[in-house]
Amino acid sequence: MRYIRDIHADKQATGQPTISFEFFPFKTPQGEATFFGKTLPALMTAKPDYASVTYGAGGSTREKTLEIVERIQNDFGLTTMAHLTCIKHTRAEIGGILDEAANRGIQNILALRGDPPPGENWAQTEGGFEYASELIAFLRERGGFGIGAAGFPEGHIDCAEGRETDWRHLVGKINSGADFVITQMFFDNTDYFRLADFLKGQGVAAPLFPGIIPVANAGQIKKFSAMCGAKLPESFASRLDELGDDAEAVREYGIEYATAQCRELLDRGAPGLHFYTLNKSKAVLQILGNLGLA
Ligand code: FAD
């Protein structure tokens, strides 16, 4: 397996975008069987450059995340990054998780602060990290891992001072040692380009991979966007309302919208695309097909 920064450098040299897929740990044995038996084999036909697996809210999926990353790498030969969050972990625990990750052949970590479980507020664990930048610095000092960080084109929802302050914190994460940034989902490309321009203005060379979610369900996307502060443009939200309960029409609109979003992002210089797959294959494959990338 390889460092994602090296995979990206090779893609860049050929003028191709870096394509990645994000998964979350399944909740049931049936979910696992479907993922490894159908979803992932289907997605592999698009020849992704790497994948990533999330870490449950409140640090709840430590073993599962590492197990799934290891299995994707071993069974499918696809470099896969483990997400890791600071929440509810001491430095010593994080050190133990990193040792285990290294033993399992994991070479890339997406270093995050994490969100508390529903109903709880963020609180730094005694002996743990307050911000993702501290975890990134810890990883850099330890060595042996490629490091990713999260970026927020609309500013992080908790950052009361506004988006530019949050973007400065992102520069801090890159200066602490992150190799690349993956953004939160967004639906207005202007937000991505503003962040990209800001980072360029700060002399940041790390690639900013846009996070794309193909909308498949209007209720679900409204819930996600409220939770993470990613706004739905007026025209987009009203089209979803018009389509109402017509699930197939919503799915098709989601694919059409994401295709147009991705096309503009790539045309205007985004270094790749990171898909929030929600452990599904069809919409992502259709989008990549529309773009001539699958
Ligand atoms: P930080 O960079 O620490 O920022 C958190 C807040 O603190 C921000 O408001 C920031 O502006 C502020 N801040 C940062 N540094 C400073 C400073 N020095 N001084 C003052 N304020 C500061 N969550 C999960 O639980 N599991 C996952 O697997 C997961 N995967 C994700 C993948 C991606 C691509 C993205 C974009 C997010 C993901 N998240 C995940 C969500 C993420 O954990 C939350 O959004 C979290 O609230 C912020 O994480 P962060 O790493 O950006 O935190």
Residue from 20, 66, 113, 163 whose mutation best tests the ligand 1 pocket (most atoms within 8 A of CB): 113
Answer yes or no: is pLDDT of 57 > 80. no
| Residue to mutate, 4, 61, 66, 131, ligand 1, most ligand atoms under 8 Å from C-beta | 131
Q: pLDDT tens digits, residue range 143-177?
A: 999 999 999 999 999 999 999 999 999 999 999 99
Gap between the Cα atoms of 116 and 156, Å rounded: 15
> How do residues 19-30 score in pLDDT, each as one tens digit?
999 999 999 999
CA neighbor of 217 nearest in space, from 171, 267, 265, 251: 251
pLDDT classification of 118: cutoffs 50, 70, 90: confident
* pLDDT score for 30: 96
Q: One of 22, 70, 134, 154 is an active-site residue; which one?
A: 22
Give the pLDDT score at 294: 87
Over residues 257-270, mean pLDDT: 98
- The pLDDT of residue 190 is above 90: yes
Label residue 125 exposed, middle or buried (CB < 10 Å: 0-12, 13-18, 19+). middle
- Position 115 pLDDT exceeds 90: no
Structure tokens at 207: 């690639």
85 lines ligand 1 (CB under 6 A): yes
Ligand 1: residue whose CA is nearest its atom 22 = 169
Q: Return the closest-CA partner of residue 39 out of 216, 281, 275, 276.
A: 281
Mean pLDDT of 36-40: 98
pLDDT at 134: 98
Q: How many CB atoms lie within 10 A of CB 193?
A: 18
Give, rounded to a whole angstrom, the gap between the first and last alpha carbons of the chain: 22
d(CA 109, CA 62) in angstroms, rounded, equals 13
pLDDT reading at 102 higher than 80: yes
* Alpha carbon of 241 to ligand 1 centroid (Å): 31
| Ligand 1 contact via 65 beta carbon (within 6 Å) | no
Greatest Cα pair distance, the chain, in angstroms, is 52
CA of 112 to the centre of ligand 1 (A): 5
Whole-angstrom distance, CA of residue 144 vs CA of residue 139: 8
Average pLDDT over residues 99-110: 98
- Residue environment code for 80-114, b if the CB has 16+ CB neighbours within 10 A, otherwise e: bbbbbbbbbbeeeebeebbeebeeeebbbbbbbbb
Using pLDDT thresholds of 50, 70 and 90, give the confidence band for residue 227: confident
Note if 22 is an active site residue: yes
Q: How confident is the model at residue 234 (pLDDT cuts 50, 70, 90)?
A: very high
Report CA(38)–ligand 1 centroid distance (Å).
32
Average pLDDT, the chain: 95
